[in-house]
Structure 1
Amino acid sequence: MSEINPNSPVSERPTQNHGCAPTLTGIALLVWLAVIPAGVMVLGSLLLGDLALVFQNGIVIVVTGALLLPVMIAAVLLTRNRQGWEGVHALAVLLTALSGYLLLDAVIRAFLSAHPNWLAALRLGLLLPYVFIVWRLMKTPTHGESRETTLPTVLLAIAVVVLLTLPWALTGALGDSLVSLGLLFQALADSLPLALLLWGVGYAYLKPCCTDKRVAALTVIVLFALAIAGGVFPTGDWGALANALLLLPLGFLATELAVRGHSPLAALPVLIAVRLASRVFIDPRDIEGQGIPELQHVISLAVMWLATALAGVLLWGIRKFRDKATFSRRRSLAFNGIAALILLCVWLGVYFLWGTPGFSNDGFLIILEEQADLSAAYAIAEREARLSYVYDTLVQTAERTQAPIRTELDRRELSYRPYYLINMIRVEGHTWQMRRFEKLPGVAQVIRNPNVRNYAYRIAMPSYGTDERPVPELQDNLAAINADDAWKLGVTGAGIVVAGQDTGFQWDHPALIRQYRGWDGAVADHTTSWHDAWGDFEVPTDEDGHGTHTMGTVLGYDGDSNRTGVAPDAQWIGCRNMRRGLGNPASYTECMEFFLAPYPPGGDPFRDGDVRYAPHLTTNSWGCPEVEGCQPDTLEAGVAALRAAGIMSVVAAGNDGPGCSTTATAPSNYDAAFTVGAVYSYGDNSITGFSSRGPVDGLLKPDIVAPGYDVRSSFPDASYAYAPGTSMATPHVAGLVALLWSANPALIGDIDATEDLIRETATPKSLSYVCTTEEASQEDPLGLSETGPLCACGAVTGTPNNVYGYGLINAEAAVKAALGK
């Protein structure tokens, strides 16, 4: 039998009725490609879990290839030159090529590079030649139509891109400029080879074999979805399956543009833009922190998805109408160009007038080897003298050791801000110059200091429970620690200043204004009572609510029925260390530095710091994970310096339980920090599922536990709200310290004695069941998986242990002990 010419129209070829067999065969091949990668991944996860990851990936790729390629090649051979099977043959050829593409891509992603930009370069360097080879081997026919419409369609595609990404101009913000360029490069690597394979080779190869062009177009759309779903292997990226469904409208739109423009290049702008927009305009730490983007970005994603679907349908309808009309290339070029220009001007206007223009460039920190020796501070009895010694020693050490590096920074005309609490220098932007400072004498390490994007418009996530219940005479969380019995002893925290670094504070909240040190009852003076490490607000402000809530648990009381705090007569000062709930090593250090020696706005911390305004202790309901730039020891010198100065740091354990050794995020993992876990406020006060556990670096953690579930406290807009977390447990302990130091001023600054007193008077909470390996490694940020008996991390079952520490704080017993009763 003579070979069928794929370039000849289907209508000119001999016909033979084969019933539904060709159609069913084509569908079976598509289903096979859809099922095999995911199926092999499922089996691999069940059977290969004990092998090293590199062997798992290798086996998954080999098995997937062994199941895909022979079937596809057999289909190619069996359908070749068979009358009536031309379309199935073309599909089998294309599926073979796509299977090879997916396997090659899997090898690149699994073995060749872990860095995203190097990975993108390898994908372009290997996948593009593969597509070229496929094009040559398949002898892909030309479109057979004029390509005069390519440029007008590219302009149309640009106009569509501008329209689709308009929501991001308003709600998004660009991150670091180099990172953004890298993301663009990665999106190009994701899109270009696949566009050339599907729309440059695939559609052109399928079209002559189909009696209806729409069948060829629909097939390519399905293949696009299968290509996206193929990303599930070999690394188990199950999100690829969801993306395959979500990106179907993008496949339809890209196919419409490629068909209209007779070139895959016409589809490339929308392929890149739709896949790039969410990556480049959303801070990835938003997703890592809460599992999903912020609500305004969820809405932007939904709008873009809907607009993509509508654009595809609309352009298809217009093209059908245009086929019946006559439009010159010049007219199409002019119309599409003007439309693209107008829409681009609108986009830029929205972006610069109402959005967040520019890049939020990351900086870096130069951390010096020499950190000040503060051991002599512990022998100084008088509080102000001890504070002054620590401040002077830190400043002198920093100025002496930083001088050569500051000179080099000045020579390079780089903007920087020195710190003394931790001997380091923050450099603004210019992350490409980090390596130039790593080898300088006296430098311990140079690390990235990630910036936090400031979105112009935010829709707050509903993370706090509304205050719709009757106001209790005594809140459950306060009753659980016997706070009311401590107050009956005449101790309410008077004379003690608690500092909080958090998302900010509503200073004039009815439950907080009376206790704010910057308020004298008539006039507010924020000079030494407030600092914003991000420089956004001159007066205490809280856009999130987290800081206002935590401070309310320390000392909140409105003088009426709303008594939310443990130490209602203590005072407070504040520092904003987080923007949108995210910080970095520099912002956390800056707040600690301000607390040691507060300085006025615009002042020089090295010259204008005044230890007379230093607080007695700090409450810290935050952590600095690696995604925010911290290594486990990055902030350790700062916490140790505050302790040397007699300023106690009460720190949240974190919400990464119920796995063991999860109290690993700075500063909860430091010996100099008093770390707090969270228990329920009712029943037997058992540990919450989310509360992080120890041990960590040989230390027993947490040190103590306090109520941290369904805690009612102050909230912005002069309201009250309920919230869970070790963030809510920590201020209970800070409030208790204020009570103790108010009851017995001799304890002020004696952190060892204070910690011992709290431990000795706590209600012990022991365990009887030792964690298995599987239980110890649980990963459940919401703490929902914990069932059955609580297990003892680190095989410590008595008291203290790595779940409850020394137990639940008892304010009454602790205050009595402080009073000598």
Structure 2
Amino acid sequence: MRGVRTFFRMAAERPPTWQIVVTVLAGVWATALAAAGPVVGYLADQYFAVTDGDHASGGWAVAATLVATVLAVIPSALLGWRGHGSVRPFNRAWVLALGASAVLALPRLTPVPYHEFYLVELALLAAVTSRYLRRGTRLADRPWRRAPALAGGLAMLLPWAWLGALGGPTETVAAFLAALAVGRLATVLQHRVRMDGSWPRRVLLTGLAGIPVVAALAGSTGLPAVALVLLAVLPLLAFGVAALRPGSGLLIGLAAAGPLAFLDPEEVSLLLGGTELLWTLLGAALALGIALLVDAGFGATYGRLAPPPRPVVYLVLLVTAVAFGTLYVGPGRPGFHGERLFVVMSATADLSGVAAIPDRAERLRETYRRLVATADSSQAALRKGLRGLRVGFTPFYLTNGLEVDGGPAVRAWLDRQPGVRKVLNSPRLRPLPRPPGTERGTTTAPVGPQWNIQLVGADRAWAETGAQGAGITVGTSDSGVDGRHPLLANRFRGGDDSWYDPWNGTTTPTDHNGHGTHTLGTAVGDGGIGVAPQAQWVGCVNLDRNMGNPAYYLQCLQFMLAPFPHGGDPLRDGRPERAPHILTNSWGCPSIEGCDNTVIRPAVTALTTAGVYFVSAAGNAGPRCGSIDDEPAVSPEALDVGAVDRQSRLATFSSRGDGPSRRAPDVVAPGQGVLSAMPGGTYATLDGTSMAAPHVAGVVALMWSANPALIGDIARTTAILRDTARPATPTYRSRNEECGGQRYVIGAGLVDAYAAVRAATG
């Protein structure tokens, strides 16, 4: 009879097979949908970053998380309240975890640049949710039992201590608090699916049931890029949590703290070329491997075997802590590498009458003197206050402003100071484990004038007018220049004030990216690749890793107005009489990098007033109308250049205007399939309006070389370029969309070097 009763009792306790199957599928479904929010948010962010130069609204990720939560919660909700008693706890825990993930996703509505605020909001919501869900639940958590979880958590931090870098102090503290709060919440929720009994039941089944719980929380922790890393690592630790139980919140919390604190979500981006993304993937792979070891170690020692003695536990903790410290201080990047702030002052320099000064050197000196005097006088009180607070800063004069160290507290103080017009973000890329490798070209060396040189008529201008740019200096602000390239080396101006690298501090022309070498080669390169092969050049690095900020861009533009010697003070040691005649600028500063029209535009105005010709790439956001929307291309004084192909047809990617209210290209030049120099004496064919802009800088060099009386006459030079331009073929997305007319698509047409030089000397 006892055997019969046992059989019927076991039959009554066993849920129907279909409910077991549905429960398993519901767990898999919930785990899969947990990734929907960060995946959609990340893809949207990448799309808007590439096309508009800005972050996607956090609403994309929040909406995706909410929709995924509703879809994932339906089967679990049905079984959680209507299912068999043995499957009910799992489904209820998953429903609660999915609900908690929807709550944790809400802080993503905070704009991306305000990461500290996002982390504080996440920490508060996780702590409140954990407190609410813990009511009526006892979690045994004796202090000494936290040591294994602490050791496991520190082990999970090892890859990030080696490969990552911390942000600012406030950001770092907030990241650890948020991570620990999420870890505590994960422990509370996984406690609801805890099983007692033998090792397989207690560890394996509890771990499997905990995966959807941890996955749901991981998908809502951090901005989308970081959440994807957490999704790849944290769910596996559900087995370690199941084995540990007491103190396991530290394990999940510290594992989450690695990506939250050591990764900048803005840098895990395709926009930067993929180098940062590759290091992140390596860190995630190492963390995943450590998670497997942690699960195996905890599963064996706290599951199948007797718990190790306390001295052994403390020894493992000590070894792990030493390993973390060694990696962080040794091959890691110790210290804080947070964002900075850029303060724009209200006062502007009076440059009236400067453009009328006939002597070029005196015109430049007077511009420099007035700008520096205005900066010194209007910033004096603010500089004194920052010194008193022991807050570091760098003053600027070309745009009256300062780059300031500090986070939210410093921003709040700056906003209250008199004379401050605006406080912007000045993003700083965190250091990498190893600098990116130098880009090399794979195209054969050029022979004679290339098609693009012939298309703009530069070769004809050389032959029939003799103008090749002699006596003119072109300045480039870009990724750098390979100063030893055979087609560029002989044209470097030389001296201690012709090269400036605020990124890496190099004292001789260097380029790892290749973009700057390529663009400069088109302007002044020898061997048939450059428009003005006898012009000299000076250079500055403003975009070493494809993401700049207001300070880097202004540092280079200040150097172009008043070059200074290595280690010199831009406000005291500038030599304006050594300024280059023409600037080629194949870069843009979108809002994602902290710029608006109060930062770069005043600098372009001052340079133009001083008589320096400013050429800018229109951008590569076409064929959308109104796609010229970043500084310096939107500055009225800049000459914007669109790109055409061999048949003088506007390139599809070339940005264009949108009627009288929007900036339009002034002229177009070859920008598709352009061959030019690359680092290491190599060559490559590249596309972009970046390739088009230096053609026009080279044409201006030919014009001013042929007629020195035209030097500094910005208006007359621009008029000649427009009047002598040849027809080009506009392209549209459809017959009905013409962006306001041909003028707003191709400007005055294709620049003509021969006709422009003849007109300049006429």
Measured against the shorter chain, the TM-score band is: 0.7 to 0.9
Equivalent in the alignment of 2:559: 594
Equivalent in the alignment of 2:149: 154
Q: Which of 633, 637, 642 matches 1:672?
A: 637
Equivalent in the alignment of 2:92: 93
Query: Cα offset for 1:87?
Result: 2.5
Matched, 1:333 2:323: no
Give the 3 Å change call, closer, same or farther, for CA 540–432 of structure 1 in structure 2. farther
State whether residues 339 and 427 of structure 2, in contact with CA within 8 Å, keep that contact through their aligned partners in structure 1.
yes
Matched, 1:449 2:441: no
Query: Cα offset for 1:566?
Result: 0.7
Letter matched to residue 677 of structure 1: G
Equivalent in the alignment of 2:473: 497
Which deviates further from its counterpart, 214-223 or 249-258? 249-258
Partner deviation per Cα, 1:223-247 (whole Å, 9 max, x = no partner): 4334545789xxxx9879x939x73
Distance (Å, rounded) in 2 between the aligned partners of 1:590 and 1:36: 46
SS of 1:485's partner is: helix
Matched, 1:323 2:304: yes
State whether residues 61 and 107 of structure 1, in contact with CA within 8 Å, keep that contact through their aligned partners in structure 2.
no
Query: Cα offset for 1:717?
Result: 1.8
Q: Which of 360, 368, 378 matches 2:337?
A: 360
Matched, 1:792 2:738: yes
Give the 3 Å change call, closer, same or farther, for CA 453–110 of structure 1 in structure 2. closer
Matched, 1:550 2:519: yes
Distance (Å, rounded) in 1 between the aligned partners of 2:405 and 2:426: 9
Distance (Å, rounded) in 2 between the aligned partners of 1:59 and 1:482: 54
TM-score by length of 1: 0.80
Distance (Å, rounded) in 2 between the aligned partners of 1:745 and 1:268: 69
Matched, 1:530 2:499: yes
Distance (Å, rounded) in 2 between the aligned partners of 1:12 and 1:64: 39
Query: Cα offset for 1:516?
Result: 0.9
State whether residues 670 and 691 of structure 2, in contact with CA within 8 Å, keep that contact through their aligned partners in structure 1.
yes
Distance (Å, rounded) in 1 between the aligned partners of 2:172 and 2:338: 10
Query: Cα offset for 1:215?
Result: 2.3
Equivalent in the alignment of 1:692: 655
Give the 3 Å change call, closer, same or farther, for CA 507–356 of structure 1 in structure 2. same
Partner deviation per Cα, 1:611-654 (whole Å, 9 max, x = no partner): 32121111111122223221133111111111111101111122
Query: Cα offset for 1:755?
Result: 1.0
Q: Which of 581, 587, 591 matches 1:626?
A: 591
After superposition, the CA RMSD in angstroms is 4.0
Give the 3 Å change call, closer, same or farther, for CA 191–528 of structure 1 in structure 2. same
Query: Cα offset for 1:736?
Result: 0.8
Distance (Å, rounded) in 2 between the aligned partners of 1:361 and 1:545: 27
Give the 3 Å change call, closer, same or farther, for CA 32–302 of structure 1 in structure 2. closer
Query: Cα offset for 1:536?
Result: 1.2
Partner deviation per Cα, 1:413-456 (whole Å, 9 max, x = no partner): 54444333222234444763333343444332333333343435
Query: Cα offset for 1:312?
Result: 4.6
SS of 2:583's partner is: strand
State whether residues 87 and 206 of structure 1, in contact with CA within 8 Å, keep that contact through their aligned partners in structure 2.
no
Equivalent in the alignment of 1:196: 188
Equivalent in the alignment of 1:728: 691
Equivalent in the alignment of 1:243: 228
Partner deviation per Cα, 1:516-544 (whole Å, 9 max, x = no partner): 111xxxxxx3x121222346112222232
Query: Cα offset for 1:299?
Result: 5.1
Give the 3 Å change call, closer, same or farther, for CA 296–11 of structure 1 in structure 2. farther
SS of 1:528's partner is: coil
State whether residues 240 and 299 of structure 2, in contact with CA within 8 Å, keep that contact through their aligned partners in structure 1.
no
Distance (Å, rounded) in 2 between the aligned partners of 1:421 and 1:495: 26
Give the 3 Å change call, closer, same or farther, for CA 503–310 of structure 1 in structure 2. same
Query: Cα offset for 1:479?
Result: 2.5
Query: Cα offset for 1:271?
Result: 3.1
Equivalent in the alignment of 1:806: 748
State whether residues 632 and 664 of structure 1, in contact with CA within 8 Å, keep that contact through their aligned partners in structure 2.
no
Equivalent in the alignment of 1:290: 272
Matched, 1:435 2:412: yes
Distance (Å, rounded) in 2 between the aligned partners of 1:528 and 1:342: 46
Letter matched to residue 173 of structure 1: A
Distance (Å, rounded) in 1 between the aligned partners of 2:231 and 2:508: 45
State whether residues 33 and 72 of structure 2, in contact with CA within 8 Å, keep that contact through their aligned partners in structure 1.
yes
Matches within 5 A, 1:376-387: 376-387=353-364
Give the 3 Å change call, closer, same or farther, for CA 194–613 of structure 1 in structure 2. same
Distance (Å, rounded) in 2 between the aligned partners of 1:548 and 1:634: 26
Equivalent in the alignment of 1:276: 260
Distance (Å, rounded) in 2 between the aligned partners of 1:640 and 1:492: 28
Which deviates further from its counterpart, 281-290 or 726-735? 281-290
Query: Cα offset for 1:667?
Result: 0.9
State whether residues 159 and 283 of structure 2, in contact with CA within 8 Å, keep that contact through their aligned partners in structure 1.
no
Matched, 1:654 2:619: yes
Matched, 1:388 2:347: no
Letter matched to residue 747 of structure 1: L
* Aligned residue-pair number: 741
Give the 3 Å change call, closer, same or farther, for CA 383–447 of structure 1 in structure 2. same
SS of 2:334's partner is: strand
Query: Cα offset for 1:514?
Result: 1.0
Q: Which of 9, 22, 25 matches 1:25?
A: 22
Equivalent in the alignment of 2:546: 581
Query: Cα offset for 1:728?
Result: 1.6
State whether residues 362 and 448 of structure 1, in contact with CA within 8 Å, keep that contact through their aligned partners in structure 2.
yes
Which deviates further from its counterpart, 616-625 or 583-592? 583-592
State whether residues 341 and 406 of structure 2, in contact with CA within 8 Å, keep that contact through their aligned partners in structure 1.
yes
Query: Cα offset for 1:747?
Result: 1.6
Which deviates further from its counterpart, 393-402 or 34-43? 34-43
SS of 1:294's partner is: helix
Query: Cα offset for 1:23?
Result: 1.6
Letter matched to residue 478 of structure 2: D
SS of 2:552's partner is: helix
Distance (Å, rounded) in 2 between the aligned partners of 1:56 and 1:606: 45
SS of 2:680's partner is: coil
Letter matched to residue 179 of structure 1: E
Distance (Å, rounded) in 1 between the aligned partners of 2:589 and 2:197: 56
State whether residues 585 and 634 of structure 1, in contact with CA within 8 Å, keep that contact through their aligned partners in structure 2.
yes
Distance (Å, rounded) in 2 between the aligned partners of 1:528 and 1:65: 60
Equivalent in the alignment of 2:452: 477
Distance (Å, rounded) in 1 between the aligned partners of 2:204 and 2:7: 14
Distance (Å, rounded) in 1 between the aligned partners of 2:235 and 2:659: 49
State whether residues 662 and 693 of structure 1, in contact with CA within 8 Å, keep that contact through their aligned partners in structure 2.
yes
Distance (Å, rounded) in 2 between the aligned partners of 1:60 and 1:553: 46
Matches within 5 A, 1:551-570: 551-557=520-526, 562-570=527-535
State whether residues 283 and 453 of structure 1, in contact with CA within 8 Å, keep that contact through their aligned partners in structure 2.
no
State whether residues 120 and 189 of structure 1, in contact with CA within 8 Å, keep that contact through their aligned partners in structure 2.
no
TM-score by length of 2: 0.85
Distance (Å, rounded) in 1 between the aligned partners of 2:412 and 2:613: 36
SS of 1:714's partner is: strand
Q: Which of 672, 678, 691 matches 1:715?
A: 678
Distance (Å, rounded) in 2 between the aligned partners of 1:111 and 1:421: 32
Letter matched to residue 496 of structure 1: I
Distance (Å, rounded) in 1 between the aligned partners of 2:317 and 2:185: 27
Query: Cα offset for 1:748?
Result: 1.0
Equivalent in the alignment of 2:46: none
Distance (Å, rounded) in 1 between the aligned partners of 2:199 and 2:86: 5
SS of 1:267's partner is: helix
Distance (Å, rounded) in 2 between the aligned partners of 1:149 and 1:225: 28
Equivalent in the alignment of 1:780: none
Give the 3 Å change call, closer, same or farther, for CA 217–422 of structure 1 in structure 2. closer
Distance (Å, rounded) in 2 between the aligned partners of 1:193 and 1:113: 24
Give the 3 Å change call, closer, same or farther, for CA 480–301 of structure 1 in structure 2. farther
SS of 1:357's partner is: coil
